[in-house]
Chain A
Amino acid sequence: MMPTRHPSDLLLAEFAAGALDEASTLVVAAHLALCAQCRRAVADFECIGGVLLDEAGAGGFSVAKRSQAITAISADLPQQPLPRRDLSIAESVEAMIDVYGRGPWRWIGPGVYRCGINLEDKGVRAFMLRGAAGTELPDHSHSGSELTLVLKGEFSHELGRFGVGDMEEADGGISHAPRIGNEECICLVAMAGTIRLRGLLGRLIQPFVRL
């Protein structure tokens, strides 16, 4: 099944450039594992990088890095004509998360569990969120941007339905109250800043919610 909601071209270009933070790199890469259409877009953007690199010559990347890359490549060409495609989609997403390692699942609210991913760069956090079927998350807004990729199940809110492989790219300030579909939902999230719960109930429980 092909995802229907994709990262913006801007985000894919920043990924291809290698300029995204760790958390966002992880979430975008996991979407790419699931989405041939976006892999093609990233290949286009890498093509742009290739042309720029050709033009920049030694003025771009350091001479040492460039010659290292070229040595590595020329040594490999005869032996490695084709990539080894040995990972299924599920295995590759798992392997990407395992690059960093993760903590235990922790209860954060009724029907909702969170599992932190141990990034080195603490600026933007990455974690998995697991919600039981039918759970309604409290209405909340974000102080920073948030990327959410559905790995299992689905959720929906004011802006639509998100199924497996779909990615929501929310800017800071967006407010939403997601509802989990009819089966358990697991998402991979990159979050900058903090969340703010809305409404009376939200304000009451805010001190206890740590995402």
Chain B
Amino acid sequence: MLTLWRKAGYFDPLRATPAAWVFAIARNLRIDGIRRERRAQVHALLDRVEPEAPEQPDNLVDIDERQRRVAEALQHLPPEQAEVVRMSFIEGKAHGEISKCLELPLGTVKSRLRLAMVRLRQALADLAEEETP
């Protein structure tokens, strides 16, 4: 299994922060570990797609900045939003499972996650604009 990810887990500094890359590999390992599932292979194939246009290298200088902004935005999330974000990203729970665990309606889980994602992406939004050619 590990050899598979040695091959699949290329690091592309134009695309990902090192932490995001570690996360992606750890996520794929976790999916691999759950069942004899092949979802992780589908995720890994995406890293091999040739982009239509070369990606912008501006990303590179912003890595620390991206990391810092996301960390800051996460700290400022209301606790109930931070909780569902952690359950989704770290525990890998589907929205339905989160709703069962927390005994909350699915709609509530989804709206908390949606609000959190809007905030987190806003924190990165002006960086993304600078990157667009």
A residues adjacent to B (C-beta < 8 A): 9-10, 13-14, 16-22, 25-26, 29, 32-33, 36, 39-41, 43-56, 60-61, 65-66, 68-73, 75-77, 80-89, 92, 95-96, 99-100, 120-121
Contact = CB atoms under 8 A, between A and B. Distances in A.
Interface string B1-29: 01001100111100111111111111111
B42 A99 contact: yes
Residue among B12, B15, B27, B33 with the most chain A CB within 10 A?
B27
A89 B85 CA distance: 31
Question: Interface majority SS on A: helix, strand, loop or mixed?
Answer: helix
B67 interface: yes
A52 B85 contact: yes
B16 A47 contact: yes
A87 B37 contact: no
Interface size class of B (residues with CB under 8 A): 35 or more
Given A29-B45, A53-B23, A85 B50 contact: yes
Contact of A86 (B50, B66, B90, B93): B50
Given A36-B53, A56-B90, 16 more contacts: A10-B113, A14-B94, A29-B42, A33-B45, A39-B51, A44-B120, A46-B20, A47-B17, A51-B71, A53-B23, A55-B74, A61-B30, A61-B90, A85-B51, A86-B48, A120-B35
A20 B95 CA distance: 9
Contacts of B29: 65, 68-69
B43 A25 contact: yes
B70 interface: yes
A47 B20 contact: yes
Contact of B90 (A46, A60, A68, A84): A60
